[in-house]
Amino acid sequence: MGGGRPSACARRARTAPAGSGKACLCRPVDWIRGRCRTHIASSRLDDPRGILSRATRLARIGVLFQSHAGRVPDVTSPDRAPAAHLRPVVIDPAARRFLLVPNRTVAPAVWSVPAHPMRPGESFRRTAARCLRHELRLPALRIAAVTGRLPSSDQRRHEEYFILVAPAVRVWPCDVRLLLAPDARWWTTAELREGGTHVEPEVLLDLIDGYWEGWLPDGVVSLE
């Protein structure tokens, strides 16, 4: 104990800039990414015949990228774009449906969910409260334990987090569709798949199905 090797947490604390005020991450992203690769390699033995779908395999092997307590790192200056966007998906668990908003600037129309910039250091819940409760005036709500993550890319400027927003009670007490957007519409994943409706991102349907069917683990799940 006394003369042993100091923990990684203690070593990072000693090397952090003085006065930075930044908390030590006991599970850095590189560590988590390494563990995920190990799980991916070992999981191939669980499904030798390739029966499971890609989405199911990704969910079951735990490709999770846990952010710093669900917060956006404070790596941006006030004059730069926010580090991530929050994209809340309003769901109706009783009817297994969710709200999407059309983007009619392209043909055919693409259905998606709004994006809200996350402020540096802001958690998912605080962003959701600010955008949904204070700005859109949605009634009391709860956030599901499953969160989908899409990293930034050439086509996607911001990292995006998809949260599932359910009513605090069994059903919504009012028509939240009109509060979200005038042309918002309730959909089921079956309706979207059978009708060939364009959804952005397409993997959003796997996130919703995984939540309904219960095979997605709690936490932040990579949607790549």
3-state SS string for the chain: CCCCCCCHHHHHHHHCCCCCCCCCCCCCHHHHHHHHHHHHHHHHHHCCCCCCCHHHHHHHCCCECCCECCECCCCCCCCCCCCEEEEEEEEECCCCEEEEEEECCCCCCEEECCCEEECCCCEHHHHHHHHHHHHCCCCCEEEEEEEEEECCCCCCCCEEEEEEEEECCCCCCCCHHHHHCCCCEEECHHHHHHHCCCECCCCHHHHHHHHHHCCCCCEEEECC
- Pairwise CA distance, residues 43 & 46, whole Å: 5
User: pLDDT > 70: what percent of the chain?
Assistant: 63
Which residue, among 92, 84, 215, has the nearest Cα to 157 in the 3D structure?
84
pLDDT at 13 over 50: no
Mean pLDDT of the chain: 75
* Per-residue model confidence as pLDDT tens digits over 192-201: 999 999 999 9
- Pairwise CA distance, residues 217 & 62, whole Å: 7
Lowest mean pLDDT among 3-7, 62-66, 88-92, 196-200: 62-66
| Confidence (pLDDT) at 157 | 81
**Which CATH number does 84-222 carry?**
3.90.79.10
pLDDT at 81 over 80: no
| Confidence (pLDDT) at 71 | 54
Average pLDDT (141-156) is: 88
The two three-digit tokens of residue 46, written as one number = 């669980």
Residue ranges covered by each domain of the chain: 84-222
* Per-residue model confidence as pLDDT tens digits over 17-31: 444 444 443 444 455
